[in-house]
Amino acid sequence: MDKPQPDGDPFEKELAGLREKIDGIDTRIVALINERLDVSASVGDLKRRYDSKVLDRSRESLIMDRICRLNQGPVDNTVLQYIFSVIMAASRELQKPLTIAYLGPEATHSHLAALNHFRHSGRFAPYRNIAEIFAEVERGGCQYGVVPVENSIEGAVTHTLDLLFESDVTITAEYYQTISHDLLSLWGNLDEVEVVYSHPQPFAQCRSWLQRNLPDVVLEECSSTAQAALKAAANPKSAAIASTKAAQVYGLRVVESKIEDSSRNETRFLVLGKEEQAPTGDDKTSVMFVTSHIPGALFTTLEPVADAGLNMVKLESRPTKRENWSYFFIMDIEGHKDDARVKRVLSTMKGLCLYLKVLGSYAKGAHGGYRSADESPREV
């Protein structure tokens, strides 16, 4: 059916009336948001005086539940939660701006994970490598650092595991970032594309699409997808495989979204910090340990975990690099280190191995992340 055509004056008049109403409502919304932020600033003062943490996830969950119960429509609960997640991010930012280190440059998947996990609130600082992020968090230059630890297709990020062995930072959270690749170019089409830039991993993950659509182009490897986008922005006869965020940051257009062969590509990121996290009731604990060089040592060390019925969700081994053929292990179990059962098991394990360190207890992350400002509902 054809859309009704604006009928000159009556349409304009009615539209102006409705828009005036919207302006009036917006005025009230702005005033209410600022009124809420004023109260939040007072909460911030109180928290500073009592040395209490700014972020209170359990309170935020209660707020989300409450607004959904109050909601009578027509707004969808997901949209409402999204709006409130941004309001609360502004609230936290006002109370205490956070500094978050991530693996740069801008618009990498690490950047997206950091933005999504912290709901866009804070000062996000790019670092050149994972070691620098650990060092920055350790020396207190940034409160948090976001580092990749495992990809669902490529496996462990061994550099991160090695740094966990050496460093004194705590794991404060985990975040699963869906990895999706877009083809970006200056003109937004495939015409005249002679070269495609990207990191080796996206090339491997988009192989079928490239074969089907750009079988004859040169594939040029870059150190990151952001670097690839930067190069594509300087060459009109090229394209880059990178994130949608990179298109915004480097002034490119999206030729095609989600060109990866498998849609189940996820990277697990760890959020490093210094503060231990209180139990939430649905936690994970990461533990690092070194076993002695005798047959069955690993089995003996892990036996208490099985005996207590604790669910081990991951076990990785890495060379200690201090002695040939000696290894350290990183184990993730369900539960918080303050849970009586976990406490008992860790204390028994400590007596059975050469060295054991708890890397952190933190709330379990949801696969696919949670809705945040970067994953805003597309239609609204």
- Binding-site members for substrate are 19, 36, 47, 56, 60, 91, 95
Q: Specify the stretch interacting with ligand PRE by CB under 6 A; choose among 51-59, 126-134, 167-175, 253-261.
A: 51-59
Q: Shortest gap between Cβ of 194 and ligand PRE (angstroms)? A: 50
Q: Does 199 bind ligand PRE (CB under 6 A)?
A: no
Interacting residue with ligand PRE among 33, 56, 80, 308 (CB under 6 A): 56
- Between strands 327-334 and 312-319, the pairing is antiparallel
Q: Does 63 bind ligand PRE (CB under 6 A)?
A: yes
Q: Specify the stretch interacting with ligand PRE by CB under 6 A; choose among 53-61, 158-166, 182-190, 237-245.
A: 53-61
The 95-124 site mask, x for binding ligand PRE (CB under 6 A), equals x-----------------------------
Q: Is the dihedral of CA 152, 154, 156, 157 positive or negative?
A: negative
Interacting residue with ligand PRE among 92, 119, 245, 337 (CB under 6 A): 92
The 2-41 site mask, x for binding ligand PRE (CB under 6 A), equals --------------------------------------x-
- β-sheet bridge partners, residue 272: 145, 171
Which residue's structure tokens are 């495992």? 150
- β-sheet bridge partners, residue 150: 156, 268
CB of 36 or CB of 364, closer to ligand PRE: 36
Q: Find, among 290, 334, 292, the residue nearest to 309 by Cα.
A: 334
State which residue has the least CB distance to ligand PRE: 91
Task: Copy the structure tokens of residue 356.
Answer: 């054991």
- β-sheet bridge partners, residue 290: 328, 355
- Give the 3-state secondary structure of residue 174: strand
Cβ-Cβ contacts under 8 Å for 306 (sequence gap 6 or more): 312
Q: Which helix (H) or strand (E) holds 327?
A: strand 327-334
Q: Specify the stretch interacting with ligand PRE by CB under 6 A; choose among 11-19, 58-66, 282-290, 332-340.
A: 58-66
